Structure 1
């Protein structure tokens, strides 16, 4: 079919393979609103390989997209990006020193404490800006796929392409990523291996900058913890695993059970600080990340704790090797207890099904038709 007059055609690039059509417009034609794209779709003007297309359709590399003309708009074949601020040599060296592992589709970084993941109104120095220092020869910069709080250190994954970013975003959203954190907390939990199951919501009056437990309208939030070691009743070194992905989840949960993370004034107040020369910096470290790469291979990356965290461990008499030697945590959904419960439930359902079948075969009744004949 001939292309309508004044319409433009674009071939979907490899970097856009698998994304939604509305996302393509955000990348390449940011001046076109979602409502406009929807109107084009409703009137049949938006075509993908000659067929009518909708904003929610997934597109594939090599497909041809036909778009109506846009009044007074300059359409670019490349993604729209914010104005770049060149990095100086020290900044480039700084971000490259963070790299601890990498693969064809990803780079794993060890983010230091005090560095924000993304910029804000008063934040011009952040990791997202520094990623220009990790761009490839073609100038393609890595893309953030998750984040860590400014004062939290440790493993942070970035994707080399938009396609890889979409894959990792799906893994994180679907809980395919397994994250392990180390933390020092004030006091010692009464249970060595426990689950915190408390719904969280944004605390009113904080502009969304703080979370709190809200049983009525909070989002489901679960965190597991294991005690690695303890210093009397003063403090404990914990392994934390977020089973959901709420903002500040681990910080809010530990404070809610009376054991705020050391250095976390926002959630722990004065109780978040220890005496005796222990650093006042946050003692929360993203120790390990396990996730599947786009090629199906498993990524398993660990980061050593920052200097202030290591010094506190030593000062409190903890042996860092104890944390490293801790067995890999069992996925709760695959634990022996859960498997046993599921097997028992399946067996019970099967017995009920067989029992109902026997009753059906043996039932008669005036309106139920003829009974099965016995063998002669």
Structure 2
């Protein structure tokens, strides 16, 4: 039961994250309940809460939004009313597994640490949390090793550890709680949107306005579960707000700063695509195609060289700010753009200044 509750909890972007999404498309049944012959009409979220110890209605609703609640084999919304003999299933994208956090000696870039928390600058390519296909070699495994001599730190305790997340191929700053009180306080700060987070992103196309705000509910794409998408009418998904500011216009791409007001899965990637400016080399959302520019062979080769320079979505969590959970002090952190992305920006800067291709 606990691993399913944790899986559902990971879908709760309000208090946390842009989460890792894995490439598995098969769905695995974790639990199944059959309504009895005398079952009165009852919302499926209430039906499941009554049968699953530790599950909250909000978590069940999140699972329904993610397409993880099936009735008679078909996904339903949380307001579906269960009828007699309905078969209600909870499915996830990975099989059930008792997860043991194994400490692993993986280098960490710790930019700040005290008795309550630490701030780490995550490199691109490092998954933050064990999950399907990535049960080892994650940031959580690295933290378990780094804090192995701390008797109060249990990597398997959900009251400790990561407060928010970023995608595997996004680099940048994350805060980690070493005490339950610290995680509870920091989680509330994220929930109430009192933290500050800015990202630098290189996107396809020239953004005309110097700054702007993108608003649009985000939910899983019903045609592709590996993608999120914007539902502008607001009848699906969760509200999401991204503020952006142009830092530099570079030929057929633009360097922008994005400030998150909310923290939905893939929020910046989805919102920028929604306004027609997909992140450069974001394969999942089509940014690994040449979306702007010329048809010249030399230009195509230039872009290919850029893809090789930064072989991931050009997104970096640059700044992070919050109130220290113990002292109340305002904490602010800034990180240097990593070498692969900085080299990419410099290539486009050179191109914009010469336009030889």
Whether the 8 Å contact between 2:103 and 2:141 is mirrored in structure 1 is no
**2:354 alignment partner in structure 1:** none
Pair 1:227-2:255 in alignment = no
Q: Structure 1 residues 171, 237: CA separation in 2 closer, same or farther (over 3 Å shift)?
A: same
Q: Structure 1 residues 248, 272: CA separation in 2 closer, same or farther (over 3 Å shift)?
A: farther
Q: Distance in 1 between matches of 2:317 and 2:240?
A: 18
**1:362 alignment partner in structure 2:** none
Query: Could you give the per-residue CA deviations for residues 248-296 of structure 1, whole angstroms, max 9, x where no partner exists?
Result: 1100010111111111111134246971621332110000001001120
Compute the TM-score of the two structures, normalised by the length of structure 2.
0.61
Equivalent position to 1:140, from 153, 168, 171:
153
Shift of 1:103: 2.7
**2:337 alignment partner in structure 1:** 305
Shift of 1:310: 1.1
Q: Distance in 1 between matches of 2:312 and 2:232?
A: 31
| Bigger strand fraction | 2
- Computed over aligned residues only, the root mean square deviation of the Cα atoms, in angstroms, reads 2.2
Q: Distance in 1 between matches of 2:54 and 2:214?
A: 40
Whether the 8 Å contact between 1:183 and 1:237 is mirrored in structure 2 is yes
Equivalent position to 1:243, from 245, 252, 261:
261
**2:66 alignment partner in structure 1:** none
Q: Distance in 2 between matches of 1:172 and 1:107?
A: 16
List aligned pairs for 1:1-376, cutoff 5 A.
33-34=53-54, 83-87=100-104, 91-92=105-106, 94-95=107-108, 98-124=109-135, 125-135=137-147, 136-138=149-151, 140-141=153-154, 143-207=161-225, 209-216=226-233, 217-218=235-236, 219-232=238-251, 234-269=252-287, 270-271=289-290, 275=303, 277-278=305-306, 279-294=310-325, 295-317=327-349
Query: Could you give the per-residue CA deviations for residues 274-328 of structure 1, whole angstroms, max 9, x where no partner exists?
Result: 716213321100000010011201111111122110111222228xxxxxxxxxx
Whether the 8 Å contact between 2:189 and 2:195 is mirrored in structure 1 is yes
| Bigger helix fraction | 1
SS of the aligned residue for 1:277 comes to helix
Query: Could you give the per-residue CA deviations for residues 321-349 of structure 1, whole angstroms, max 9, x where no partner exists?
Result: xxxxxxxxxxxxxxxxxxxxxxxxxxxxx
Q: Distance in 2 between matches of 1:115 and 1:129?
A: 11
Q: Which runs of 5+ in 1 are unaligned?
A: 1-31, 36-80, 319-376
Whether the 8 Å contact between 1:101 and 1:109 is mirrored in structure 2 is yes
